[in-house]
Amino acid sequence: MNPEATAALGAAWIDDYPWEFLTKLTEIGDRMGGSPGERRAAELVAEGFERAGAREVEIASFEMNRWSRGEAELAVTDPVERSFETIALPYSPPGEVHGELVDAGYGTPDELDEVDVEGKIVVASTTTPEGSRFIHRMEKFGHAAAAGAEAFVFRNHKPGQLPPTGSLRFDREAAIPGVGVSKETGDWLTDYADRGARAALRVDAGTEPGTSHNAHGQFGPDTDDEVLVVGHHDAHDIAEGALDNGCGITVVVAAATLLAEMDLDVRVRVAGVGCEEVGLLGADALAERLDLDSVRAVVNVDGAGRFRDLRAHTHGSETMAEIVASVADETNQPIAVREQAHPFSDHWPFLKRGVPALQLHSERAAQTAAARERGRGWGHTHADTRDKVDDRNLREHAMLTALLVREVARTGEVPRPTAETIAGNLRSGNYEEGMKAAGIWPDEWE
């Protein structure tokens, strides 16, 4: 490693900039896809890339469907009359529903098949049974809507009076209204469902054409091939978005400062992308814009910086797993590896088009599979605030990210996955049925 890169890595241990960047980002407030706050976040990311010395820094706009959150009301109407706090879920349509409450447990397909949900208001948990892969909210919602439910209530499994948010669909209005409620409210609703209670739900929301923004810049030699590093700068409008994904985009911007001092074999493009939370739209717009034949690999930083230890999702790539192992060995830092592919972050628009992908997430130190927290924790709730962040994680994960990107750039051609291998990986993880219910299984894979 050249002396400049070594000095930059040493300086990163005590660099205040990552915390300053996260502070400015979380001070913005609402960074929902298509909002003025999200545009300001893109500008802040571009400023960070310019500070690091990136060339050709630009902010690019793209069209999307902007969802606006209005008021939501939920009340049990029989055998008692009682109102509860609730929030609408992104892309919920406006509407008013009256019907019987039914508890679908975790909201798995098997549980939904066991209860009659047609014409009813379905209540399902944000978590997933032990021993099962994590089942995404969009899958649960899609199964419930397909089974004839009139409305969907997503109950948090984490205590603290925290109704969760999260998109029901990608970039378009959903079929039926959906809302989030706290664990405490969810406990009452499941009790009332057992008593055959009826409820009323009203959602005021709107979906209309909007504009979002990506920010990107370049480092290294001006080669034909490039490695792409992305992190999303948008967040849900109910909190600061410090963990999801304020930490991740901070890691990208901090890593950019280190990449500027490293000897890179090919061009590295760094990008902050918008609208991840409402459909991976910024990443998809970037994938449409770039010549993907020239993109050797994408490194998606979504979840890094939140917890103590880095976790790498290799999406079935043996080469990526080898790169992660080499950097972990070189730095004597633990980096857990997950081989299973999944479609719920910004690597997906590239992976499904055949670009090798690495996602950088994180987990608590020495976390075992049995003890691993299911779900998003504070994410997607009012509690996703800056005080939850440890700035050591931001600095150290930025260092590891830069070293991983350097190794990806050094590796040469990373074998590209075919549609058959990606589909096979997803099928082996039991994703196909859920992705079809969520409307995100590629039509050409049928």
Where do we find the tokens 């608590």? 364
What pLDDT score does 131 carry? 84
Which domains does the chain possess?
3-65+210-435 (3.40.630.10), 69-208 (3.50.30.30)
pLDDT of res. 371: 46
Instruction: In whole angstroms, give the CA distance from residue 323 to residue 401.
Output: 12
Distance separating alpha carbons of residues 377 and 238, to the nearest angstrom? 15
Query: What is the per-residue pLDDT for 366?
Result: 64
pTM check: above 0.85: yes
Segments of 52-137 assigned E as strands: 55-78, 82-84, 87-88, 95-103, 121-125
Contact partners, residue 79, CB within 8 Å, separation at least 6: 195, 196, 197
Q: What is the mean pLDDT of each run of 10 residues along the chain (446 residues)?
A: 88 96 97 98 98 98 97 97 98 98 96 96 95 92 97 97 96 96 98 98 97 98 97 97 98 98 97 98 98 98 97 98 97 97 98 98 72 71 97 98 98 94 97 96 91
Please choose, from the candidates 357, 363, 378, the residue with its C-alpha nearest in 3D space to the C-alpha of residue 283.
357
